[in-house]
Amino acid sequence: MRFTVHSLLQRLCFAAVAGLIAATAAQAKPDPHGAPDKFVLDAANEALSALKADGQLRSGDLARVNQAVDTYILPYVNFRKTTQLAAGRFWRQATPEQQTALADAFRGTLIRTYSGALTGVTQDTTIKLLPFRGDPNADDVVVRSLITQANGQPVGVDYRLEKDPQQGWRIYDMNVEGIWLIQNYRNQFAQQINQSGIDGLIKALNQRNQ
Amino acid sequence: MNMPTTARFASALAVCALTAGCAAPGNPDPRDPWEGFNRGVYKFNDTVDRALFKPVAQAYTYVTPQPVRSCVHNVFSNVGDLWAAANSFLQGRGHDFVNTLGRFLFNTTMGVGGCFDVASANGARKIPNDFGTTLGVWGFGQGPYLVLPFFGASSVRDGVGLIGDWQGGIVTYTSPGAVENIRWRNSLWGLDLVDTRASLLDTTDMVDRVALDPYSFVRDAYLQRRAAMVRGTATGDDSLPDYSDDADDAAAPAPGPAPAQPAAPAPKP
């Protein structure tokens, strides 16, 4: 069973690339005020084409990845909310400075996860939306997609988006083959905070980011 | 598992039971009441993996060309599809059953005995399935989380499911266990193991890199994934995790050890 989990995580690793990157788009300017599924698809396709065009990015050059994340992903993802939910009730105990530091540290961790997996993207990688279920007028929706690779199994990736009155749709959680990102970090965050407080958690995350 | 391994495992457990290695941690999870024990086994598995399985898998990856590895992987996966299809049938998921059976027939013929996964290339996605999931669909709860020696992450239900998978693999002639010739059987098992481990090299590296605590990272991923498999494809909004924090009991636990609290919502049925 251990292996089963790991093979999932492996796909998580790959899908994360296509996934978070999928949350992006420079040229097409996906419309965050439009339909959520179209927003995700536009963003994903633009990001994929950017990624395919940039060999340096695919090889996982960290500086380059950071830059790409800032331009392509950040505007469409609510990292702060992701971090807030992962920290759960501890978030409110943190000072505003701690909150910002924590969000930055967590972002670094996630980027490192994905940069390692960028090599999985090839010219044949495509993303396809699955039929949208649920209420498109809701403020909190899930968009489901399937990412296909040249050799290997397609990976199901779901995005959870929240509608912000000003900024429109923004992604804050992601599901790869049944595993939600935030849920998978909640226990680890709580554990670390119980051990060494919020500063300890920030430190631990940053240590891994070195 | 030969005797010396068993003995070493037993002594590792004994050592763990006598030392802080098994001490229950400060952040108990209701789904993992045996965390102290589980962490001991996890550590044991990890040690064995780093000393033995991982290096062997790395060597295998180094000496074998990619097409050969991919063929080996696909053949095992293709044969395994039969048992997965049987489970879809047992779960009453007729659509999955027909799909997986079709995959098997297509890959076995057009894919040259499963060497090429032509079904996936044509859009027929692999539907993983096993007996633990079947038990879940039949209404058995996950039970406490359990880390098995060598097998890794599991639960009481899925541990029972593994026994079913073992028997099922033999009955349907889809596991190396069905081979009569002992030398052949052991070789196939070895190859199966090495193939599985090799396909996970990137993943385990990733877990080492990103997890704050690999033990709970793997546990939470496992439990989430298993719950999703039991739910099947028919997921609705009701299966979404609820992140609303249960902290109206805002007794702020300062840096010290916090009171027991479920940090993550239990997977919903």
Cβ contact (<8 Å) for B27 and A177? no
Q: Which residue has the higher pLDDT, B109 or B203?
A: B109
Instruction: Please provide the distance, in angstroms rounded to a whole number, between the alpha carbons at the two ends of chain B.
Output: 35
What is the value of ipTM here, to two decimals? 0.78
Cβ contact (<8 Å) for B158 and A187? no
Instruction: Collect all residues of chain A within an 8 Å Cβ-Cβ radius of residue B250.
Output: 89, 92
Mutate to test the interface with A, among B39, B43, B220, B238 (most CBs of A within 10 A): B220
Q: Which residue among B125, B199, B246 places its CB closest to the CB of A7?
A: B199
Q: How far apart are CA A85 and CA A79, in angstroms?
A: 10
Question: B58 to chain A, minimum CA–CA distance in Å?
Answer: 16
Cβ contact (<8 Å) for A191 and B243? no
Confidence of residue B91 (pLDDT cuts 50, 70, 90): very high
Look at residue B10 and give its three-state secondary structure.
helix
Mutate to test the interface with B, among A187, A198, A205 (most CBs of B within 10 A): A187
pLDDT at B174: 82
Size of interface A-B (CB pairs under 8 A): 166
Instruction: Collect all residues of chain A within an 8 Å Cβ-Cβ radius of residue B209.
Output: 112-113, 116, 208
pLDDT at A69: 76
Instruction: Collect all residues of chain B within an 8 Å Cβ-Cβ radius of residue A62.
Output: none
Q: Is the pLDDT of residue B251 over 80?
A: no
Q: How far apart are CA A20 and CA A181, in angstroms?
A: 11
Q: Which residue has the higher pLDDT, A91 or B241?
A: A91
pLDDT at B226: 92
Q: Residues with Cβ < 8 Å from A100, sequence gap 6 or more?
A: none
State whether residue B69 sits within 8 Å of chain A by CB: no
Cβ contact (<8 Å) for A116 and B196? no
Q: How far apart are CA A180 and CA A161, in angstroms?
A: 13
Average pLDDT, chain B: 81
Q: Nearest-CA neighbor of B89 among B131, B59, B29, B37?
A: B131
Average pLDDT of span B221-226: 92
pLDDT at B235: 54
pLDDT at A151: 64
Question: B14 to chain A, minimum CA–CA distance in Å?
Answer: 22
State whether residue B188 sits within 8 Å of chain A by CB: no
- Both tokens of A52, joined, read 């395919």
B61-87 b/e (C-beta count within 10 Å ≥ 16 → b) = eeebeeeebbbbbbbbbbbbbbbbbbb
pLDDT at B82: 92
Please report, in tens digits, the pLDDT of each residue of chain A (210 residues total). Answer: 445 556 656 665 666 556 555 554 444 577 888 888 888 888 888 888 887 887 777 776 777 877 877 777 778 889 899 999 999 989 999 999 999 999 999 988 888 776 666 667 778 888 888 888 777 778 888 998 888 876 667 888 889 999 888 888 999 998 888 889 899 899 899 999 999 999 999 999 988 776
Cβ contact (<8 Å) for B203 and A180? no
Dihedral angle sign, alpha carbons of residues B220, A169, A198, A109: positive
pLDDT at B219: 94
The H or E element spanning position A160 is: strand A155-164
Average pLDDT of span B171-190: 86
pLDDT at A168: 87
Average pLDDT of span B124-147: 93
**Helix axes B66-90 and B94-109, enclosed angle (nearest 10):** 150
Q: How far apart are CA B221 and CA B212, in angstroms?
A: 14
Average pLDDT of span B227-231: 90
Instruction: Collect all residues of chain B within an 8 Å Cβ-Cβ radius of residue A146.
Output: 125
Confidence of residue B14 (pLDDT cuts 50, 70, 90): very low
pLDDT at B7: 53
Cα separations in angstroms, B54 against A7, A124, B37, B48, B98: 14, 30, 24, 9, 36
Q: Is the pLDDT of residue B110 over 60?
A: yes
Q: How many residues does chain B have?
A: 269
Cα separations in angstroms, A73 against A35, A208, B172: 18, 21, 48
Q: How far apart are CA B20 and CA B36, in angstroms?
A: 9
